[in-house]
Amino acid sequence: MNAAEEYLLLGLRLGKHVDGLVDAYYGPQDLQDAVDDEPVIHASELAADGARLRDSLDDGWLRDQVAACTVYARVLAGEQLSYSDEVEGCYGVRPARASEDVYAAVHSELDELLPGDGSLYERRQAWRERHLVAGEKAVPITHDLLPVLRARTNALLELPAGEEVALEPVSNEPWWAFNYYRGELASRVALNVDVPTTGLDLVHLVAHEIYPGHHTEHAVKEQSLLREQGKVEEAIQLVPTPQAVLSEGIAETGIDLVLDDAGKEELYAILRGHGLELADPELAERISKALEPLRTVGLDAALMIHEEGASEAEAQAFVERWSLVPPDQAKHSVSFVTDPTWRAYVITYSAGRDLCRAYVGGDPARFRTLLTEHVRIGELLSA
């Protein structure tokens, strides 16, 4: 058995401890069957197996992945790591609190941009409610947006023949949308129709989850790395690894590479065709862009709880204040960063976005590299 197959076994065995840890698997069926048939292996033994495999590998992408799995196995085994050490060990990026001056500056900019009367929170919520999509319309609108973003993505990078996406409305889920990559170049994207969503949210969803985001990355890499180059290590997607930082960064970065003004107008026409208000798309884009720095508020909340000893109520109040969201949404954010599976994952969104943007620097060729190669966190950090 080669090192890549040992890595797949390590990931699958870890996945038996935590539901959802293996985000996708489309590797050799005999490895999956073997793990399914064996008893659960104690996390401490998996940590030792991971350390031995890590130390046998040359410096590179696979070693980074195995090292992250080893750290996560140590956490599962009960080893007391600090939150920052856990995050850095899994994702290769050390978390740090953002300055509240950054958030204050965002609020100041939003105060200038958001129309109407009342507090900044009230105007933020009124603006959002004005543009909400009825739940039953969300999937049909998303379906109609797909061809535009697919065509724009295909112009940037030829998509593999036979790739396909199925959309599915769901309810009573803790998340907004989720890409279930199934292998064989296919994704199932579930959209939670209970979550209040705007037209621009749906544009972002298609870009993030499908074209040129998660589905595009997985399909392209399955074709080029797994099928053509035989890199079987690509056949598993694991949550607590540097791979996730790249995936979230690609998903957050791609829309700026594939959409020019003409492309945006095509999408806005589709939204208007479904009866959505979009009287001032330029202002809507400016507001959306202004809100981006607030993505680190969730990570700050995690650091408050796990490193500074803050209560969940204190963290929720912090999220409400700076993210300008209602209590139920802030409570959901806190539940995410206290969930044992996802608490460290929160760094992937903001760090992935910032690192991938810096690496790409607006260059389509650099973005194609992210979609087709195993780029390491160190390469992103050096940018």
Give the pair of three-digit tokens for residue 377. Answer: 């966190």
How much is the pLDDT for 332? 86
Distances (CA, A) of 19 to 16, 42, 98, 212: 7, 15, 31, 27
Q: Which contacts (CB < 8 Å, 24+ apart) does range 63-68 have?
A: 64/92, 64/241, 64/242, 64/376, 64/377, 65/7, 65/233, 65/238, 65/241, 65/242, 65/243, 66/7, 66/10, 68/92, 68/238, 68/240, 68/241, 68/242
Contact predicate 292/109, CB 8 Å: no
pLDDT tens digits along 315-336? 999 999 999 999 988 998 899 8
Q: Give the phi and the psi of residue 183 in degrees, each rounded to 5.
A: 80, 180
Q: Are strands 132-133 and 236-238 parallel, antiparallel or unpaired?
A: unpaired
Coil, helix or strand at residue 99 = coil
**Domain parsing of the chain, residue ranges:** 3-80
- Is the alpha carbon torsion for 21, 230, 155, 245 positive or negative? positive
pLDDT tens digits along 46-59? 999 999 999 999 99
Mean of pLDDT values over 346-359: 95
How much is the pLDDT for 174? 67
Q: How confident is the model at residue 339 (pLDDT cuts 50, 70, 90)?
A: confident
How much is the pLDDT for 383? 82
pLDDT tens digits along 95-111? 999 999 999 999 999 99
Mean of pLDDT values over 76-82: 94
Ramachandran area for residue 305 (φ above 0: left; ψ -120 to 50: alpha; else beta): alpha
Amino acid identity at 308: E
Q: Which helix (H) or strand (E) holds 237?
A: strand 236-238
Query: What is d(CA 124, CA 116) in angstroms, rounded to the nearest whole number?
Result: 9
Does the structure show a pLDDT above 80 at 173? no
Give the pair of three-digit tokens for residue 10. Answer: 């390590």
How much is the pLDDT for 278? 79
Q: Are strands 236-238 and 186-192 parallel, antiparallel or unpaired?
A: unpaired
Mean of pLDDT values over 63-67: 98
Does the structure show a pLDDT above 90 at 340? no
Query: What is d(CA 343, CA 27) in angstroms, rounded to the nearest whole number?
Result: 27
pLDDT tens digits along 217-256? 999 999 999 999 999 999 999 999 999 999 999 999 999 9
Mean of pLDDT over the chain: 95
Give the pair of three-digit tokens for residue 336. Answer: 């995410």
pTM, rounded to two decimals: 0.94
